[in-house]
């Protein structure tokens, strides 16, 4: 179980494949976990691992997740963004640009 740590924050993540990094943010709001990807219509690890280095993480303090950290009440979603950017830096493959399609 890989963990990214920064201060009091511990982020559980999983990765598969190789190539350009693809950050997958599991849906589910406050229930956003890597394990939850198993209930999605397709598994992004299986779908994209042949072309990308697929990386996904539990949201900080998500129900049923393994990531923990203090709740930043003034900026809760910004803190989650910080976690994802920090994780990409941690795996040393941070893309120069972030594109979101949805």
CB 24 within 8 A of CB 46: no
**Is there a domain that residue 57 lies in?**
yes
Between CA 53 and CA 47 the distance in angstroms is 11
Provide the residue range defining the domain that includes 70: 3-90
Tell me what pLDDT residue 70 has.
92
**Is there a domain that residue 97 lies in?**
no
Residue 93's pLDDT band (boundaries 50, 70, 90)?
Answer: low
pLDDT digits (tens, 9 = 90+) for 1-56: 789 999 999 999 999 998 888 999 988 888 899 999 888 888 999 999 999 999 99
**Is there a domain that residue 101 lies in?**
no
pLDDT digits (tens, 9 = 90+) for 82-91: 999 999 988 8
**Is there a domain that residue 47 lies in?**
yes
How many structural domains is the chain composed of? 1
């Amino acid at each position: 179980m890989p963990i990214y740590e920064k201060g009091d924050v511990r982020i559980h993540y999983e990765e598969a494949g190789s190539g350009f990094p693809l950050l997958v943010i599991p849906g589910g709001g406050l229930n956003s976990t890597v394990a939850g990807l198993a209930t999605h219509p397709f598994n992004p690890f299986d779908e994209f691992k042949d072309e990308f280095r697929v990386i996904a993480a539990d949201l900080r303090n998500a129900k049923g997740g393994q990531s923990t950290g203090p709740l930043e009440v003034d900026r809760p979603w910004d803190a989650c963004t910080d976690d994802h950017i920090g994780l990409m830096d941690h795996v040393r493959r941070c893309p120069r640009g972030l594109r979101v399609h949805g």
